[in-house]
Amino acid sequence: MSTTARPAQLSAARRIPASPWTLAALALGVGLVGGAATSFGQTVLSGGWHALVNSTAPWATVAFLVGLRAAGHWRRAAVAGVLSQLGLLAGYYVTAELRGYPTGLGAVVIWAVAGVVAGPVYGAAGALLRADRRLLRAVATGLTGSAWGADGLRFLWLASDAQSNSGPGATAGWSFLLISVLLPVALARSARDRVYALLVLIAGVGAVAVASLVIDQAFML
C-alpha cells in the first residue's frame, strides 16, 4: 500500500459522521460529565473564572461540539444537541443534590425547556459548519459565538450596575465578548463567510439575550 494514500485516508476517516447510537451515547456521556464538572466548578472557581461555570455559553458549546461529530446530518445533530443538554442538566443537578445543594423542581423544568430549545440549534450548527451552501455555513458559524456574546453583555451590565453585587466582573464580560467574535472569525472558510457570519452573530446575540430575559422572568414567577 502506498504511504502517500494514508494521510488522505485518515482525513476521510475524520469526516465520517458518528452513527446515531454512538452520537447519542457521546452526547449523554459528555453531558453527564460536563454537568458534574459544572457543579464542582462552582465551588472551586472564583472571580472571573466563575463565569465558566455560571453561564449558558459553555453548555451551548457542548451541543455545538457534539454536532461536529454528525457533519452533514443536521437532524441527527439536533437530537444529539438536546441529549447533551439533558445530560448536562442531569449531571449537574444529581451531583449538586449528592453534594448537599438541593434545587427546586421549578429550576430544573425551566432549564430543561431552555435546553430543549437551544440544544437542537447549536447541535445542528455544529453539523452544518462545513456545509456546501454559504448561507448555511454563515448561520452555523455565526451561532458559535452568540451565547458567548450574550453572556458577555450580561456580565458587563451586571458590572456596571452599582446596585448589583452579582456577576463575574467586567473582565469576564469583555473576555466572553472577545471569544464570541473570535469563534466565527476563526471558523469561517473565507473572508466573505466571515462577514456573513458576523452579521449572523449580531442577530444571534440579540436572540440569546432575549431568551435570557425570558428565563429570568420565568424564575420570578
Per-residue pLDDT tens, the chain, 221 aa: give them: 444 444 444 344 445 778 889 999 999 999 999 999 999 999 999 888 999 999 999 999 999 999 999 999 999 999 999 999 999 999 999 999 999 998 888 889 999 999 999 999 999 999 999 999 999 999 999 999 999 999 999 999 998 876 666 788 899 999 999 999 999 999 999 999 999 999 999 999 999 999 999 998 998 87
Asked, for residue 11, whether it belongs to a domain, the answer is no
pLDDT attached to residue 165: 62
Asked, for residue 43, whether it belongs to a domain, the answer is yes
pLDDT attached to residue 8: 42
Q: Say how many domains are in the chain.
A: 1
Count, in order, helices (H) and strands (E) of the chain.
9, 0
Asked, for residue 12, whether it belongs to a domain, the answer is no
- Going by C-alpha positions, the residue among 108, 109, 143 that lies closest to residue 125 is 143
Q: Using DSSP, state whether 131 is helix, strand or coil.
A: coil
CB neighbour list of residue 52: distance below 8 Å, 6 or more residues apart = 41, 45, 58
Asked, for residue 9, whether it belongs to a domain, the answer is no
Cα 141 to Cα 150: distance, rounded to the nearest angstrom = 16
Asked, for residue 2, whether it belongs to a domain, the answer is no
- Going by C-alpha positions, the residue among 131, 141, 25 that lies closest to residue 71 is 131
72 within 8 A of 17, measured Cβ to Cβ: yes
Asked, for residue 164, whether it belongs to a domain, the answer is yes
Cell of 210: 432575549
Asked, for residue 13, whether it belongs to a domain, the answer is no
**Radius of gyration of the chain, Cα coordinates, nearest whole angstrom:** 18
Packing angle between helix 134-143 and helix 105-127, nearest 10 degrees? 140
144 within 8 A of 169, measured Cβ to Cβ: no
Asked, for residue 100, whether it belongs to a domain, the answer is yes
Cα 216 to Cα 193: distance, rounded to the nearest angstrom = 34
For residue 76, the enclosing domain spans 19-220
